[in-house]
Amino acid sequence: MSGEKPGKPNTERLFFREAIARAVREEMRRNARVIVLGQDVGAFGGSYREFDGLFAEFGPARVRDTPVAENAMVGVGVGLAAGGFRPLVSITYMDFLMLGLDPLFNYGAKLRFKSAGRMTAPLVVKTTAGAKGQGVAHSQCIESWLMGVPGLKVVAPSNPADAYLLMKAALRETGPLVYVDHKRLFPGAGDVPLDEEVGAIGVAQILRAGTDVTLTAHSFMVRVALEAAQRLADDGISCEVIDLRSLSPLDVETIARSAQRTGALLTLEEGQLTCGVGAEVSARVAERIGPLRAARVGPLPAPVSSNPLLEAAVVPDAGRVVAAAKALLGARFAAAAEDAIITNEGGGD
């Protein structure tokens, strides 16, 4: 979509995948030590065409196809980063990032600590999460697994502008970072700054102001949250929607201020609720401002089926968020409370 008349002043309209490609291209032009490694990242342009044009411009020395060997890919990336390069390692499905956790956790994230700050591993692991008809081993969201690793940062953009800004920031980080995108975001378009800008890691964004309940989400679930907020508004409930954008570090201050103002906190995620993102958000906010009304919405405790009906039954949608918000806010919406309780019984609590 590049080249179209911008939707807003000083922006261009890009697909999510184009925003990623533009950010990587700019950083590769800026810094000759930025390289891309992954399956099908070369002439094919990436599994979702998010690296289109890079191979033609930079060649096989800087855009390298790899075997299907995620542990080796991440391990090579960590070694290159320790040696002064800035590698971007592309893992097609987040499920397979599990195979690369040893070099990422035990070497990349710990390098600064083990060397007393003399060495770092400025590695970006880009991986694609989320359910979109591809079954049990290609649909998982395990962001919360990564959040507790000292030395590792995690970002998850929800729109093309943040896809661009956060990728630029990621490729300038001093340590390892996991950049999580989502299958359902790639076809989406949005306004991206025309000027080369860099995002701020660790800063959440209020996308919709509200007074009755604070709703947090990240990645594709931000779209679900905004849809739910509009439905709630139609029923007279004012919902403030916060896009987390960065999961580690987490912008607790922005969330806590909002929750203190609204008096209620609802978290939404596609990953499992047990030890999940929402649990961490709720705990951090309670530590900051004290007890408050809070609830979490997430998937059912089951693998994501490739059957579209079963997939939809597992993954949270706007209807579940609306029911949970009404239950959280009390007797005024008691009719919806039973449905919300049933929906969230599977969270592992």
Question: Residues, the chain, total?
Answer: 349
Region of 123 on the Ramachandran plot (φ > 0 left; ψ -120 to 50 alpha; else beta) = beta
Q: Which residues of 140-163 are buried (b: 16+ CB within 10 A; e: fewer)?
A: bbbbbbbbebebbbbbbbbbbbbb
Order of all β-strands in the sheet with 86-91: 63-65, 34-38, 86-91, 124-129, 177-182, 153-155, 246-248
- Strand 86-91 and strand 124-129: the pairing is parallel
Position of tokens 């951090």?
284
Q: Is 138 a catalytic residue?
A: yes
Q: Catalytic residue among 17, 62, 138, 296, which? A: 138
How far apart, in whole angstroms, are the C-alpha atoms of residue 10 and residue 332?
45
User: Tell me, what amino acid is at 43?
Assistant: A
Catalytic residue positions? Answer: 138
